[in-house]
Structure 1
């Protein structure tokens, strides 16, 4: 089981991680101190269960819980908090359990056992289409100015590396991503995106025009008017994809 701890207190995160790792059900534990960090982890890793605090500096754990439905397969949630007056609200949003601080090993084990049973049931009932959704959530996480933006893959027009930074142009604007181009390509569907340069990937359906350029290269005009080069090493692949 892969677990994410979301808590703004480092000591509380470390204590809970230690207790979790004493249980044989645990395969991986990640940490986040804010809603933005948590979303970044959720969109870059497969998380089965979140241990979620309610008070997160100026944020509320329920804010993250409300966003989980945007994921193809939302992780289960155990609220892990010092507050005992939010239990009803937590169970109203289908929380697996509600664990109070200070944490105890037996109580953590009980929560993990409940989560494991639910995960096994979910896996047994999952349809092929749902399993495909696990592999491809259709979303990309972009961190910019300490905020995490969640972008739809369908909105992406072109991705490129500029001055060492990964940039994404979408239908609504341009965004920075703190990842590599290869990381992004692993998460984009191959049938919808195409690499045309060692530092450029375009959405095939966003291509408007293709014209010869110089030294046996080509230039592509995208639906937003942006022009991008096709390097010689990717010309053959481009022609095959576009039936040229």
Structure 2
């Protein structure tokens, strides 16, 4: 039986700054592992929700800094069918826990917002790394509906992007690619991951290379490059690594 995590004393704040986290999952062994890992890192685990419906209800009742959400919950389709969404102003950063077969079929239960994922079986070091990046990204966002990295900003509410004061005239495919790169800033994305996100299916390698090249020309024109190639692996967005 799952322990009442809301009654556990919170450890002293550390690098996480004592951020409040909600865990949504039905595997008690997994949620207990996540709770221990996050609390040792200085997060405050404010509760565990055992179903998708309970997770949505908790998010509507109070604000969390981060939600760790099991994307394999059996009631997610039912929750999505009800049409209940969280507004962008209330949507916390979301870290999905997924298995390989769920990788390209994540249900948009909580609406648009900053999100990332780790695959199961869960590796605690990866959970902590992705959580830290999500929270950094949330701090960089200027207002609800925006994703940003440095002077590069994407506005989901208007479907527009800009680099500094310069607007970027993006096609729908370029926009989706930029959004995927921004949501995974610092992370190398394979050509297969990009193709399935942008078009819903894997496309020929040259089609993806041409799309990345067009986006790079618009984003990095005359300014420090943010879109990079990791030869043999894929592409990533961020400041050049030392």
TM range (shorter): 0.3 to 0.5
TM-score normalized by the length of structure 1: 0.43
Tell me which structure has the larger Cα radius of gyration: 1
TM-score normalized by the length of structure 2: 0.43
